[in-house]
Structure 1
Amino acid sequence: MVKEHMTSEKAKARGGRGSKRARVMEEAARTLNSHGVSNASLPAIAARLGVSRAALYYYFEDQEDLVFQSYRRSCEHMAMHLSEAEAAGGDAMTKLQRFIDNLLAEDAPQLAALSDLAYLRLEQRNIINGLFQAIKASIAGLLASGAARGELRECRASIVAPAILGMVSWIPIAQQWQSNESLTHGDLVDAVKAILTEGIATDRRSTVDFKPLDVALAHHAEVNLFDGHAVAAAKQDALLGAASWLFNLKGVDATSLDEIAMRVGVTKKVIYHNLGDKETLVAECYRRSFRHYEAVARAARDYDGPRIAAIMAANHAFARASLMEGSAPLSPLTGVEALPPAVREEIGNSTDFLMDIFLGLHAEGQAEKTVRKLNARAIVAANPGGFEWLPKWFETLSDAEREAAPLELAELYRIGLFPI
């Protein structure tokens, strides 16, 4: 009896430690997603949990270990849910939806988005990359086998598989961008599944020829060297383009001002003179991104043709810009809540502007019967997950895949993955 009691007490203690660890890991993931690596410090997480900093050293050796463990936990959860979804049987779409439902269940723990791998040591980075690539390969295999059996349409699985992972990773980030509480977590999950099953088009059998939008990231191709303002603007845009690209590839915290200066061929002093410190630089990169997004949205609104074509052209432009080496807009993935309040307010206003334009495009498309009736607000909010992660995958994509990705992702949004 005493032995049974002791065994029971030990089990409770283990359960308590496990439950406490789960709470710590979830808070770490939430903080990484909302505030970024540098602001997800052990003291910050300890304060949010109401424990001492020393208590967290029971779980993490240091800040780097916190990020590594959080990323490994994300990969392990994705791998576990994917394995369980496949083991439960059914056709390819059933397995895919089961994976999404379980991973993004209302009571499931929030996972840390894998946005700053370069922050980790090489051996840690290799471990996370290996885990993620295995998950991506499993989903690509599921897509390929599903297409071979006629359960899914043919697609470029090497592009669509990471897009699916991008969409599920985007959900907690999308919720940060909401200016109101009109969308629930369930709305966003349903939107991802709607996109992946049948897309937004009313007629999935027809093809849509669209004219690519001519929206450049920079507007200083020809600079009058005697125009000081134009020269300064061109220099600033070059710095912002280089910074955005490196921030996308490596993460903000793993990218130094020296690296950015070296890429442009200037000194760090030039960055300080033209833009200011790193915090100001990041804020300006965000402003540049949203200026670009707004330009694409206006071009889509003014597009001469069916609304389904306008929406496809916009998605194509967003994805194409994300793959423009050296000048892509900064992807708004993690750390948004760490931005200065004035910048967050600007971005919030821009997000509302973008939402209004794309809601209008969806409403007009429904009226002309080219876009099917869905929860358009949720669909528009979920959509960036498909292309915002492109810079993170850049080095894993071949030249041919980079070339094909914008159209492949525009088609995914239009018609989903069900057979035609």
Structure 2
Amino acid sequence: MAQKKRSDGNRLGWETLVVVASKHLNTMGVSVEWFSEIARDLRVTRPALYSYVSDRDDLLFKCYKRSCDVLVDTLDAAAAATDDPLRILDNFLTAAISGAQREVAALSEIDVLPQERQAIIRSQHEALVTAVAVIVRRGIDSGQFRAVDPQIVALSIIGMITYAPLARRWLLQSAHPQQANGARELLFHGLAASPEPDLSQPFPSLNTGPARIDLFDRAALEEARRETILVAASLLFNRRGVGGTRVDDVAAALGISKRTIYHYVGQKDALLDACIERAYKFYFSGLYMAQRSPGSRLTAIYGVMKEMILAMSDPDMAMLLPYVGFGQLSAKERRSVNIHAQELTEGYRTMLEKGQREGSMRNFAPYDILSASLPGIFTWVVNDPAPFNRDRSYIVEEIASIIVRGIIVRQSR
């Protein structure tokens, strides 16, 4: 056995371990099978992994630290090649998304770590955001970028980078060679054909608030209790990750027993599936409302994006994001997600094509490519809903403006 362990350790390699562990994190999140799956993929024994890490938290910490280190190194390399802010961000996005760097773990389950290690990762991430924001500020000062919020742009850039490998799981796409181009198109130029589009058309709110319930309507009361459970579970799944959230955690957050959750929803797999279906129901309601909205297709997209971001950043609505944890869905729910993703993609593609024909939107990369970057612009609001003490409505407006207008200064025709 001792000889086998040495052989495993020699074949393993520290970098290989963290890369494979990061890929598993992006698919499954932290799961009870995490170490076993890593060992299987690396064709080593599970005890061999403990030559490099002490436990699950140690490996999670090292994966997250590597994510920050890789992105900092990528940004430094981009900045070393040129002084031009636009080219720096262009090179950064290209190198980070295109595959020049091996997949890094999305920082989705930081709350699972001990407090002192959370602080280290958050500090590194904040330093990265600040470094990107400084470059954005330089672009604003030089006249390349319009008057955007540098911190929000920086968070959106990093969001697109970390979401890129996750999109391939949820959208069931292979790695697209033009994925980086889609991110750059969206960030720099946005969707609008005009540099100063008219966005004044009002859009109805998707947040109807809590419904009034007839206290004598038993079915309505049961549905309201189920909804309360799904909101709490979605919030925890978003902030702690699917693997890092137990049914006990949801029960504790609500002050109820696990038995109550089992009664209204079911075991954890049923709870996760129900949260996914609830989220897609919301996403489809946004699509249908946008399709029926008067005015240009650009204003419809702008309106629905604002409503989506607002809902995602609202803990009282807590829509589950298509983020880390796809691998923990049931086989049935994965098939359902496949169908949902195809229908949403087709629906928004049709809207974008109409927008191009009517002249409100630019001709840009196919939507299949843009779709791999679009969620990354705003998914970060779930875990960081009010960065730098900014108002939530202000953040929503800024992100929606990036999606529609991009960040570079464009000359009017």
Question: Is 1:85–1:98's contact at 8 Å kept on the other side of the alignment?
Answer: yes
* Residue 30 (structure 2) pairs with residue 37 (structure 1): yes
* Residue 369 (structure 2) pairs with residue 378 (structure 1): yes
C-alpha displacement of 1:40: 5.8
C-alpha displacement of 1:346: 1.0
The partner residue of 2:291 within 301, 309, 325 is 301
Tell me what 1:390 maps to.
381
Aligned residues: 401
Q: Do the aligned partners of residues 244 and 201 (structure 1) sit closer, same or farther apart at CA in structure 2, a change above 3 Å counting?
A: same
Q: Do the aligned partners of residues 395 and 412 (structure 1) sit closer, same or farther apart at CA in structure 2, a change above 3 Å counting?
A: closer
* Residue 153 (structure 2) pairs with residue 160 (structure 1): yes
Question: Is 1:358–1:380's contact at 8 Å kept on the other side of the alignment?
Answer: no
Unaligned runs of 5+ in 2: 1-8
Unaligned runs of 5+ in 1: 1-15
Tell me what 2:338 maps to.
348
* Residue 398 (structure 2) pairs with residue 416 (structure 1): no
> Alpha-carbon deviations, 1:285-312, whole Å to 9, x = none?
1111111111111111111110011111
C-alpha displacement of 1:267: 2.9
Partner Cα distance (2:195, 2:231) in 1 = 37
Partner Cα distance (2:238, 2:357) in 1 = 38
Q: Do the aligned partners of residues 397 and 239 (structure 1) sit closer, same or farther apart at CA in structure 2, a change above 3 Å counting?
A: farther
Question: Is 2:170–2:322's contact at 8 Å kept on the other side of the alignment?
Answer: no
> Alpha-carbon deviations, 1:74-99, whole Å to 9, x = none?
00001111122122223211101111
CA RMSD in angstroms comes to 2.0
> Alpha-carbon deviations, 1:165-198, whole Å to 9, x = none?
11111100111123455xx432221100001111
Tell me what 1:116 maps to.
109
Q: Do the aligned partners of residues 97 and 19 (structure 1) sit closer, same or farther apart at CA in structure 2, a change above 3 Å counting?
A: farther
Q: Do the aligned partners of residues 96 and 320 (structure 1) sit closer, same or farther apart at CA in structure 2, a change above 3 Å counting?
A: same
The partner residue of 2:280 within 282, 290, 295 is 290
The partner residue of 1:49 within 42, 45, 58 is 42
* Residue 302 (structure 2) pairs with residue 315 (structure 1): no
Partner Cα distance (1:336, 1:62) in 2 = 24
* Residue 172 (structure 2) pairs with residue 172 (structure 1): no
SS at match of 2:334: helix
* Residue 165 (structure 2) pairs with residue 147 (structure 1): no
Question: Is 1:34–1:336's contact at 8 Å kept on the other side of the alignment?
Answer: yes
The partner residue of 1:202 within 179, 193, 196 is 193
C-alpha displacement of 1:272: 1.7
C-alpha displacement of 1:265: 4.1
Tell me what 2:125 maps to.
132
Question: Is 1:32–1:39's contact at 8 Å kept on the other side of the alignment?
Answer: no
Partner Cα distance (2:45, 2:95) in 1 = 33
Q: Percent identical across equivalent pairs?
A: 28
Partner Cα distance (1:307, 1:161) in 2 = 27
State TM-score, norm by structure 2.
0.92
State TM-score, norm by structure 1.
0.91
The partner residue of 1:240 within 215, 230, 245 is 230
Partner Cα distance (1:365, 1:98) in 2 = 29
Partner Cα distance (1:405, 1:284) in 2 = 29
Which 4+ stretches in 1 moved above 6 angstroms?
Answer: 16-19
